[in-house]
Amino acid sequence: MATTIRASSVRPAFGVRGIRRHMGQILLHMLLVAGCLATLLPFLWMFLGSFKSSSEIIRIPPSFFPENPTLVNYQTIFNDPLVSIGRYYLNSIIVAVSVVVLTLFTSSLAGFIFAKYRFFGQNVVFSFILATMMIPFQVLMIPSYLILAKLGLIDSLWGLIVPAAVDAFGIFMMKQFIEGIPTELMDAGRIDGATEWGIYFRVILPQLGPALATLGILTFMFRWNNYLWPLVVITSNERRTLPIMLTWYSGMQYQSYDLTMAASVLVVVPVLIVYAAFQRWIVQGFALSGFK
Amino acid sequence: MRLPVRANRSRRRNRGGGSRGQGLFVASALTPLMLYMVFWTLFPMIWAMLLSFFEYAPTRVGGPLLGLGGDNPFVGLGHFANMLSTSPEAQKFRTSLKTTLMFAFLVLPLNLAITIPLAVAIEAVKSRLKTVFRFIYFLPTVTSSVGVALIWGYLYHPQRGLFNMILKTVGLSPQIWLSNPRAFYFGVPLALWAIIFTYLWQDMGYNLVIFIAALQGIPKDFREAAVVDGANIWQVFWRVTLPLLRPTLLFVCVMTMLSSFQVFDIIQVMTENGRPQDQARVLVLDIYLSAFRFQRMGWAGAEALILFLVVLIVTVVQMRLLRTQWEY
């Protein structure tokens, strides 16, 4: 790349080239806006569908906008004696928040140790952690189910929390982040007489804000949206999480798109709000990980 | 993946006093965590391997060790031999393996064909809309996959769906997207195409942000230098940007493959267990049904090991093919 030196001779665009560049930007914006509309279309279809009455939604040909927008689908869901939507929200929140708290603690502690201490067998142990990330969940799913059965945790929210408490990716990510924290801070703590646990809680943890936020939000969203594992573990109605509930109205006895779309709105919107609020952390985190 | 396992080989070991205290801390804090991990990963992994040598159902009382033996008899490599036979479950397995491979090998190039140009385009935006674009294109990725499957199921509905509404408006014939076993395009069932598009819509966000991050990491000088040398935007893309994205490309290819081999949610929700005619039956769906509907956990365990093997082979091959010797 010997030509790099000449890059300094690039001047701000002007004249005919400037206009062309301008045109290029306008064209680019138009294309990207069109792509955005296409991306948003399914969401729009969901929202519009959730406000259509049951008679309108089965009409042929279908309408695009609801002719008589109604909240009746939401009312039906909230008053359905077979569906305790509040309970499902609570279940999803309990599982997601518990896993987040546990994961943040175990990942930051293990990440701290791998980043800042040297001990016998360290590389072997860390390679083992990385290697477990390669194992597809479906391979572990059947034995994990059998372990839960032995522990009596089938059909319990514990069954969704306990296996997720230690996360290989979280440890890896925390180690990377903690390596950037100067060791001098720890030494200063030691001189002040802090124990190793004291250093972890009072020196390291306060420095981890951004990393904890990123990992926490990623973990929360992953658990909130998780489907296969709750589908395997949870059997009784009142212990369902939201994604399991979602398929209820599309099942055999209902096949009702108006209720399904309203339920989808109820499940999808909280995550979209979390995403909108924490956009920066989330996008960074995904860019960093790529596999959640 | 060049994971910096030994990145921090500092020689500052045990500085300051209390190295015994440090040793104790490491041992007492890390040991329980690692045992916990072994219990939920290595132990199930070994158990999965053992299971695949037995005919196992959790409803039967078996031998003393993990319920294996006794009423859950040892079959040796029987399950793996069965996979090559003409038994109905072997045919289901082979169909689902074929569908999974087809799915993964269609998703990867399509995904790259969308995400790389899109990332380059978003990076080229000079206005404040840049973050807005990134925000919107990433929305589907944070959405519950069950929600995605239900919304798209409604979009694809033959009579009530938006897609057929659009097709009719522009004068084309409507399609039975998800349940027409006789519709094929380029040798791939229409139902599988429909699922692939849904999957791409949801999944492109990951790779998009990874590529955007990678593009931001490429020094601007390189592209500008090429422009000064008279390269047009296509030449800049093919000769400069793309080669510099190669390390990221390897990571993205491996990760996209891994996740598409494990597709389950949208297929289980959008189709009725992979119907019509098992055209959308993928391996994870087959494993799920074998293990938890038909209680054939030994067979399902053997299938899962094949999935693992395929994942390993594809990963290693991709790493060989796309490895680079240089960095920037």
Give the tens place of pLDDT for each residue, A43-72: 999 999 999 988 888 887 788 888 888 888
Structure tokens at A24: 């290029």
Cβ of B154 within 8 Å of Cβ of A132? The answer is no
Burial profile B24-46: b = 16 or more Cβ within 10 angstroms, e = fewer? ebbeebbeebbeebbebbbbbbe
Distance of alpha carbon A132 from alpha carbon B291, whole angstroms? 22
**What does DSSP assign to residue B85?**
S
Cβ of A49 within 8 Å of Cβ of B154? The answer is yes
Helix (H) or strand (E) holding B169: helix B162-169
Q: Among B1, B97, B154, B293, pick the best mutation site for testing chain A contact (most A Cβ within 10 A).
A: B154
Structure tokens at B327: 């960095």
SS3 B221: helix
Number of H helices, E strands in chain B: 15, 2
Task: Label residue A288 by pLDDT band (50, 70, 90).
Answer: low
pLDDT the model gives residue B8: 43
pLDDT the model gives residue B3: 41
Distance of alpha carbon A152 from alpha carbon A158, whole angstroms? 10
Smallest CA–CA distance from A126 into chain B, residue: B5
Number of neighbours of residue B323 by Cβ within 10 angstroms: 11
Taking residues A34-38, report their average pLDDT: 93
B122/chain A closest Cα distance in angstroms: 8
Cβ of A232 within 8 Å of Cβ of B292? The answer is yes
> Domain coordinates of chain A in residue numbers?
77-289
**What does DSSP assign to residue B184?**
E
Task: Label residue A16 by pLDDT band (50, 70, 90).
Answer: low
Beta-carbon contacts of residue B192 (< 8 Å; ≥ 6 apart) = B99, B102, B103, B279, B280
Residue A15 has pLDDT above 60, yes or no: no
Cβ neighbours of B259 in A, within 8 Å: 291
Distance of alpha carbon B11 from alpha carbon B20, whole angstroms? 17
What backbone torsions phi and psi does residue B189 show, to the nearest 5 degrees?
A: -60, 145
Spatial contact of A263 and A254, defined as CB atoms under 8 Å apart: no
Cβ neighbours of A139 in B, within 8 Å: 44-45, 48, 304-305, 307-308
Distance of alpha carbon B249 from alpha carbon B323, whole angstroms? 10
Cβ of A62 within 8 Å of Cβ of B3? The answer is no
| Residue among A253, A73, A79, A237 at smallest CA distance from A155 | A237
Spatial contact of B151 and A45, defined as CB atoms under 8 Å apart: yes
Q: Where are the beta strands (DSSP E) in chain A?
A: none
What backbone torsions phi and psi does residue B188 show, to the nearest 5 degrees?
A: -110, 135
Q: Name the one residue in this structure whose structure tokens are 């194992």.
A: A135
Number of neighbours of residue B87 by Cβ within 10 angstroms: 11
Structure tokens at B54: 């037995």
Cα distances from B202 to residues A31, A261, B143, B311, in angstroms, run: 20, 17, 8, 21
Spatial contact of B107 and B199, defined as CB atoms under 8 Å apart: yes
Interior angle at CA A121, CA A116 and CA A123, nearest 5? 65
**What does DSSP assign to residue B62?**
B
Distance of alpha carbon B36 from alpha carbon A105, whole angstroms? 14
Whether residue A61 has a cis bond before it, omega within 30° of 0: yes
Better pLDDT: A252 or A31 = A31
Output the pTM of the full model: 0.86
| Residue among A198, A177, A179, A176 at smallest CA distance from A188 | A198
- Tell the burial category of A251 from Cβ atoms under 10 Å away from its Cβ (0-12, 13-18, 19+): exposed
How far from chain centre, in Å, is Cα B318? Answer: 14
Beta-carbon contacts of residue B315 (< 8 Å; ≥ 6 apart) = A134, B254, B257, B258
CATH class, A77-289 region:
mainly alpha
Cβ of A272 within 8 Å of Cβ of B137? The answer is no
Cβ neighbours of A130 in B, within 8 Å: 3, 5
pLDDT the model gives residue A36: 93
Spatial contact of A177 and A281, defined as CB atoms under 8 Å apart: no
From the list A187, A197, A283, which residue is nearest B138 (CB)?
A: A283
Residue A190 has pLDDT above 90, yes or no: no
Which residues in chain B land under pLDDT 70?
A: 1-18, 323-328
Beta-carbon contacts of residue A193 (< 8 Å; ≥ 6 apart) = none
pLDDT the model gives residue A5: 40
Distance of alpha carbon B290 from alpha carbon B64, whole angstroms? 24
ipTM of the complex: 0.85
Structural domains in chain B, CATH included, are 83-145+187-322 (1.10.3720.10)
Distance of alpha carbon B328 from alpha carbon A158, whole angstroms? 47
